[in-house]
Amino acid sequence: MGLLMSQDDFARAIRDAGSRAGHPNDANKRLVQRWESGTIATPRPVYARALESVTGLPIEALGFTFPVPQARVSGDNHGGHDVDNLPTGIAATSRTGQPRPAQRGNHSGVWLSRYEYFSSGRDGTFVGLHYVTVIQHGDRLTVRSLPGSSDSPLTMDLTVDGNVVTGTWVEQTSPESYYRGARYHGAIQMLAEPTGRRMVGKWVGFGKEMDVNTGPWELIFQEGSTDRATLERYNRRPEPE
């Protein structure tokens, strides 16, 4: 699975993820072997959710397939429709096979992460850009940067309460960067716009001299699909501003 875990450790992580989410499972070494060998191509939903939680990747990007179930569609009295109960983290497709845009209430997809920070050492304000995958399970969002989008991996673990998004972030800077591989982390709070295409807020964290800093951070929706082709398309550095 590429996580530097033994099969026993990975199975344990899957069980722990299920327990934390309130959906216990019985993952074991033999099941992990069957996933890796391709004997099981379509894991049960309880395992699919745990796999996404542990790896930070959508189920399709792990080489599995997953059927798209029927969704309940209700009118919103404004000429549109809301889709409920779609499995989070699994891309819905239209009858033409094209990815649907993110549905209101489900933020799963590919987003552009943009934040600003002041560097006292370089005496200026700089911008950090990453393409990230957002995987939603209930009210929790798991955010992971695509490896090709930056030399400094970024992760965020967020909780959604209405249009309020709150959580933590971690960035491991590149050893070749100005920050020489330093690991930074902090808290973040954003507001999700009603369109579901943008989250805007602020981060708080510490600086090199252990001072507490803050700055703007936004996530900008790119695509609702998280299939392998989409991730490959965004596995690159965002265009600089």
Sign of CA dihedral 22, 14, 26, 45: positive
Instruction: Output the pLDDT for position 214.
Output: 92
- The pLDDT value recorded for residue 189 is 96
Report the distance separating Cα 148 and Cα 234, nearest Å.
8
Q: What is the pLDDT along the chain (241 residues), one digit of tens a residue?
A: 446 678 898 899 999 988 888 889 999 988 888 888 778 888 888 888 888 888 777 776 777 765 444 333 333 333 332 323 333 333 333 333 444 444 446 899 999 999 998 877 777 888 999 999 999 988 999 999 999 999 999 999 999 998 899 999 999 888 877 677 788 899 999 999 888 899 999 999 987 667 888 999 999 999 999 898 999 999 999 998 6
Which residue type does 235 have? N
pLDDT value of residue 99:
40
- C-alpha 224/C-alpha 69 separation (Å) is 17
DSSP letter for each residue of 186-234: EEEEEEE-TTSSEEEEEEEEE-TTS-EEEEEEEEEEEES--SHHHHHHH
- Pairwise CA distance, residues 3 & 15, whole Å: 16
